[in-house]
């Protein structure tokens, strides 16, 4: 590959290399702008958290080739309102929901292929369109389209600082394969994700507990551009202490373990902390609606660790885990394998078993198998844990992304702390997700947000640069 031209002034610099960045870059290029993309990761690890994604949530009034039935604005909005507990911006959210209808077609125009809608057991096939092969296949298609359309993509290029004055940015100081360079531009799209992989930053809010969090996605989400822009007077949005997190296998790598590390066993188990105490209703609701609270719950436990205990009856009720669970013929033995108090776990299981009421077990819907007189209760899928081998999965918090972000308006334009819009800075993706996701998460919404705001940011940046 030839040396990139660091002397020219590009119409648009896109910072980041995930779906939000590429959607912005391709849109800006299609609008006639010259575009350069600075991706921190090297080529094989490109794409930020998009590499680990699988689908996007799209409004659709009627069945399409990739989505069943229909999913309309009000239902979508209700879903979003419920998960965020109202911590959202209705105007931005509804605009994003309406625009999501065209997201699958846009991605398809960039070569992205979707799975046919009627595939097997996926309960999300009504609301979410699945990328064939997942997020990395999507990224491959987007990068191919970018290359074909003449976008300059720089890998292993970290943007360290944006030169900006009064909300007007002119150039970026970058580290290109370790060498300092400058990229000059007319408009900027910040699509560099959250700061979840920056432990030092997380420690500011979580102390030493931050060292026990697993980062599910890219290790390149260091939040450098986010920090840099916030320090230069961009308005902040979202709770800096909060993040989206799930229950991960405790033995997963500390970074980049991706989706396959999450464990779905919770509703079919009881979960205790390091002190062998239950701390939350494991059967509160169906897993797709509850999986995202368990990362937080575990983060609040001593040592940020928990243990899901079940028996051989449940083995096929949830997806298999990458790391085999501890298995033994007695509760005490399986507790010993995990290094927790066996005698106490036997008592906890016995108490739980005694509280289980008879019912008809239905794994996919909230059934009538519940406990009585137990604190906390288990509201559904409560079966006695009695059939060896007993199974134990150790759990830790796996962070997907942080909620702190840059404030934007409906044209993806970055807002300054004084309430004025930036002249030439735009943002898309996780770096601005806090505008809509004040808390909680809706499966597939991150990719929707990245695609919708990526397109808007690309369009606006190109418009600004070419005027």
Partner 1 sequence: MHGTELPRDAVVPHPLELSEHVAEARRHMAVCNACRYCESYCAVFPAMAMRRDFAAGDLTHLANLCHGCKGCYHACQYAPPHAFGINLPATFAEIRQESYAAYAWPAGAGKLFERNGTLVSLLAAVITTLALVLVAAIKDPSVLYAPQTGPGAFYRIIPLWLMNLLAGGTFLFALVALTMGGLRYWRATGPGAGAKVTAAPAAEAAVDILTLRNLGGGGHGCNDMDDSFAMTRRWLHHAMFYGFMMCFAATTTGAFYHHFMGWTSPHAFLSLPVQLGTWGGVLLCIGTAGLMWVKTTTDPVPVARRLLGGEYAILALLFLVSATGLLLLAVRHTGAMGLMLALHLGLVLALFVALPYSKMVHGVYRSLALLRNAMERRAAARAAG
CB of 315 to partner 1, least distance (A): 8
Burial class (CB in 10 A: 0-12, 13-18, 19+), 120: exposed
Residue 342 touches partner 1, criterion: CB under 8 A: no
CB of 321 to partner 1, least distance (A): 6
| Tokens found for residue 83 | 């998960």
> Distance of CA 375 to CAs 280, 348, 378, 381, Å?
9, 11, 8, 16
Residue owning tokens 């008592």: 347
Cis peptide before 389 (omega within 30 of 0): yes
Q: Which of 42/63 has CB closer to partner 1?
A: 42
Residue 119 touches partner 1, criterion: CB under 8 A: yes
User: In this structure, are residues 97 and 125 in contact, taking their beta carbons and an 8 Å threshold?
Assistant: no
| Tokens found for residue 353 | 């078993």
Q: How far apart are CA 453 and CA 451, in angstroms?
A: 6
DSSP state letter for 385: -
Residue 209 touches partner 1, criterion: CB under 8 A: no
Residue 315 touches partner 1, criterion: CB under 8 A: yes
CB of 53 to partner 1, least distance (A): 9
Residue 132 touches partner 1, criterion: CB under 8 A: yes
Residue selected from 19, 27, 34, 115 as contacting partner 1 according to rule CB under 8 A = 115
Residue selected from 72, 319, 343, 364 as contacting partner 1 according to rule CB under 8 A = 319
Q: Which is it for strands 326-328 and 390-402: parallel, antiparallel or unpaired?
A: antiparallel
Q: How far apart are CA 315 and CA 72, in angstroms?
A: 37
Residue 216 touches partner 1, criterion: CB under 8 A: no
| Tokens found for residue 368 | 């009538």
CB of 113 to partner 1, least distance (A): 6
CA 87 to chain centre: 17
Site stretch for partner 1 (CB under 8 A), options 114-122, 233-241, 293-301, 401-409 = 114-122
Residue owning tokens 């096939």: 125
User: In this structure, are residues 184 and 170 in contact, taking their beta carbons and an 8 Å threshold?
Assistant: yes
Residue 219 touches partner 1, criterion: CB under 8 A: no
> Distance of CA 399 to CAs 178, 246, 256, 351, Å?
28, 7, 10, 32
Residue 45 touches partner 1, criterion: CB under 8 A: yes
Residue owning tokens 């809509």: 436
Length of the chain: 467
Strand partners, 427: 190
Residue selected from 87, 136, 251, 463 as contacting partner 1 according to rule CB under 8 A = 136
Computed from CA positions of residues 231, 236, 241, 245, in that sequence, does the dihedral angle turn out positive or negative? negative
Site stretch for partner 1 (CB under 8 A), options 22-30, 136-144, 155-163, 170-178 = 136-144
Residue selected from 177, 203, 211, 316 as contacting partner 1 according to rule CB under 8 A = 316
User: In this structure, are residues 132 and 116 in contact, taking their beta carbons and an 8 Å threshold?
Assistant: no
Residue 109 touches partner 1, criterion: CB under 8 A: no
CB of 360 to partner 1, least distance (A): 18
DSSP state letter for 125: T
Site stretch for partner 1 (CB under 8 A), options 98-106, 258-266, 294-302, 346-354 = 258-266
Residue selected from 88, 198, 304, 321 as contacting partner 1 according to rule CB under 8 A = 321
Residue 196 touches partner 1, criterion: CB under 8 A: no
Using CB under 8 A, count the residues that bind partner 1. Answer: 33
Residue 290 touches partner 1, criterion: CB under 8 A: no
Site stretch for partner 1 (CB under 8 A), options 131-139, 337-345, 361-369, 428-436 = 131-139
Three-class secondary structure of residue 150 per DSSP: coil
CB of 270 to partner 1, least distance (A): 22
Q: Which of 320/339 has CB closer to partner 1?
A: 320
Q: At what angle do helices 342-355 and 331-338 cross, to 10 degrees?
A: 130
Residue 323 touches partner 1, criterion: CB under 8 A: yes
CB of 186 to partner 1, least distance (A): 32
User: In this structure, are residues 71 and 127 in contact, taking their beta carbons and an 8 Å threshold?
Assistant: yes
Interior angle at CA 321, CA 319 and CA 325, nearest 5? 120
Site stretch for partner 1 (CB under 8 A), options 13-21, 112-120, 202-210, 436-444 = 112-120
Residue selected from 9, 108, 124, 137 as contacting partner 1 according to rule CB under 8 A = 137
Q: How far apart are CA 285 and CA 276, in angstroms?
A: 23
CB of 320 to partner 1, least distance (A): 5
Residue 224 touches partner 1, criterion: CB under 8 A: no
Q: How far apart are CA 264 and CA 72, in angstroms?
A: 29
Q: How far apart are CA 446 and CA 332, in angstroms?
A: 42
Site stretch for partner 1 (CB under 8 A), options 137-145, 154-162, 273-281, 456-464 = 137-145
Residues numbered 138 to 177 that lie near partner 1 (CB under 8 A) are 140, 144
Residue 448 touches partner 1, criterion: CB under 8 A: no
Site stretch for partner 1 (CB under 8 A), options 25-33, 272-280, 314-322, 367-375 = 314-322
Contacts to partner 1 by CB under 8 A: 44-45, 51-52, 54, 113, 115-116, 119-120, 130, 132-137, 140, 144, 253, 256, 258-261, 315-316, 319-324
């Amino acid at each position: 590959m030839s040396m990139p031209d660091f002397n020219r002034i590009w119409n648009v610099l896109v910072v980041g290399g995930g779906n939000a960045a590429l959607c912005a870059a391709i849109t800006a290029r299609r609008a006639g702008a010259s575009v350069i993309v600075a991706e921190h990761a090297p080529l094989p690890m490109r794409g930020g958290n998009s590499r680990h994604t699988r689908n996007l949530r799209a409004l659709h009034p009627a069945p399409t080739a990739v989505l069943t039935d229909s999913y309309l604005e009000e239902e979508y909005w209700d879903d979003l309102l419920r998960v965020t507990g109202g911590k959202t911006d209705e105007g931005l959210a509804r605009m994003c929901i309406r625009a999501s209808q065209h997201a699958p077609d846009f991605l398809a125009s960039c070569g992205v292929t979707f799975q046919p809608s009627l595939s097997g057991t996926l309960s999300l096939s009504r609301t979410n369109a699945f990328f064939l092969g997942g997020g990395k296949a999507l990224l491959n298609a987007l990068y191919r389209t970018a290359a074909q359309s003449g976008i300059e993509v720089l890998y292993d290029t970290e943007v360290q600082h944006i030169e900006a004055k009064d909300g007007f940015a002119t150039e970026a100081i970058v580290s290109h394969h370790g060498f300092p360079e400058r990229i000059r531009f007319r408009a900027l799209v910040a699509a560099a994700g959250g700061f979840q992989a920056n432990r030092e930053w997380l420690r500011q809010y979580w102390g030493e507990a931050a060292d026990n969090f697993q980062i599910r996605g890219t290790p390149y989400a260091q939040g450098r551009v986010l920090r840099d822009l916030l320090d230069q007077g961009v308005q902040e949005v979202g709770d800096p202490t909060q993040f989206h997190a799930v229950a991960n296998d405790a033995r997963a790598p500390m970074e980049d373990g991706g989706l396959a590390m999450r464990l779905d066993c919770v509703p079919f188990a009881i979960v205790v902390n390091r002190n062998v105490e239950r701390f939350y209703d494991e059967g509160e609701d169906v897993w797709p609606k509850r999986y995202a609270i368990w990362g937080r719950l575990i983060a609040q436990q001593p040592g940020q660790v928990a243990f899901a205990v079940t028996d051989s009856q449940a083995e096929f009720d949830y997806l298999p885990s990458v790391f085999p669970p501890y298995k033994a013929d007695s509760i005490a033995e399986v507790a010993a394998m995990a290094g927790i108090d066996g005698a106490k776990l036997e008592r906890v299981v016995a108490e739980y078993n005694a509280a289980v009421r008879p019912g008809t077990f239905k794994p996919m819907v909230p059934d009538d198998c519940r406990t009585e007189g137990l604190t906390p209760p288990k509201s559904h899928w409560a079966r006695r844990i009695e059939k060896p081998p007993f199974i134990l999965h150790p759990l830790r918090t796996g962070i997907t992304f942080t909620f702190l972000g840059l404030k934007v308006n409906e044209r993806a334009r970055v807002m300054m702390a004084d309430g004025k819009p930036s002249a030439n800075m735009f943002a898309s993706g996780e770096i601005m997700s806090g505008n809509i996701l004040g808390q909680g998460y809706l499966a597939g919404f991150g990719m929707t947000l990245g695609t919708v705001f990526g397109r808007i940011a690309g369009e606006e940046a190109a418009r600004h640069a070419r005027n």
